[in-house]
Amino acid sequence: MHEIWEKYVEGEEVNNGPAVESKQKEVLKVVVTEVLDGGRFYVQTVGDQKVASIQQQLASLSLQEAPVIGAFNPKRGDIVLAQFSADNSWNRAMIVNAPRGAVESPKDKFEVFYIDYGNQEEVPYSHLRPLDPSVSAAPGLAQLCSLAYIKVPSLEEDCGPEAAQYFSDNTLNSSKEFRAKVEERDTSAGKVKGQGTGPVLIVTLVAVDSEISLNASLVQEGLARIEKKKKWDSMERKVALDNLEKFQDEARADRRGLWVHGDIESDDEDVVLPAKKAGGRR
């Protein structure tokens, strides 16, 4: 399972630096199930028995009866079954937003988050059911991830939509399997409260049939930048950033994406740029 890291272009062999640094990192085999933007996405672990057994449980349900208004009042945070609009399949979902007060009509809208896939949508009350006792109540199987060592613009920023499109084309739309090397875990966001929340795995993501990570590809395309180096960086982080810097130099030299106008002004939190004067140049 770890061979790919040996011949890995970015040189992040697991034996960097002193013994303390070389704790073997966990590598998960995953498929990407939802993309939030160029740097944040949901995965499911490949071969996870829980995925298979929950899919089986859902497939054997027969949910003919419409929910009974008055008897079934889903509240925010509840885990229910919801019918996914794209293929009418039933899936486990968390209610993210519910109408105020009691349900009045089968058309009342509920915002749901599909806990095993990471996508979110609005569905009518008629497409909801209580969680059947035959279906597992285990925590959601979709795991939120972000790409390690790089800063990807958000959807509102320059090149953000292009980064998200590039990432989607190479993950969601390719149905490939990936190896996700867990560089760090961020548990500060606590329990899942809907899309984009919950504990995050910060990963290097490499397609099983590729030698270059998506982290590096985004940088190479000029659709992301590497994080700033800091004095106290670990040996491993230094090596990773040095290797990614080669891809960034290439993008910058070629004026790709973010580098179309040459160097980018710093947007780092720790640099205070002079305020723009109204109407005049800086």
Between 244 and 175, the higher pLDDT residue: 244
Give yes or no for residue 266 having a pLDDT over 80. no
With cut-offs at 50, 70 and 90, classify the pLDDT of residue 11: very low
Model pLDDT, residue 175: 80
Model pLDDT, residue 12: 41
Q: Do residues 150 and 215 lie in contact, with contact meaning Cβ atoms separated by under 8 Å? A: yes
Model pLDDT, residue 14: 42
**pLDDT tens, position by position, 84-93:** 999 999 999 9
Give yes or no for residue 16 having a pLDDT over 50. no
Between 138 and 150, the higher pLDDT residue: 150
Domains of the chain: 3-48+141-259 (2.40.50.90), 49-130 (2.30.30.140)
Give CA–CA dist 120/97, Å, rounded.
11
With cut-offs at 50, 70 and 90, classify the pLDDT of residue 78: very high
What percentage of the chain reaches a pLDDT higher than 70? 85
Burial 135-158 (b: 16+ CB within 10 A, else e): beeeebbbbbbbbbbbbbbeeeee
Q: Which helix (H) or strand (E) holds 53?
A: helix 49-59
Give yes or no for residue 49 having a pLDDT over 60. yes
- Across 45-66, average pLDDT: 88
Give yes or no for residue 222 having a pLDDT over 50. yes
Give yes or no for residue 21 having a pLDDT over 60. no
With cut-offs at 50, 70 and 90, classify the pLDDT of residue 267: low
* Single pTM value for the model: 0.83
Q: Do residues 216 and 245 lie in contact, with contact meaning Cβ atoms separated by under 8 Å? A: no
Model pLDDT, residue 24: 84
Model pLDDT, residue 187: 86
Model pLDDT, residue 238: 96
Model pLDDT, residue 265: 58
Which residue bears the tokens 């205070």? Answer: 272
CA gyration radius, the chain:
22
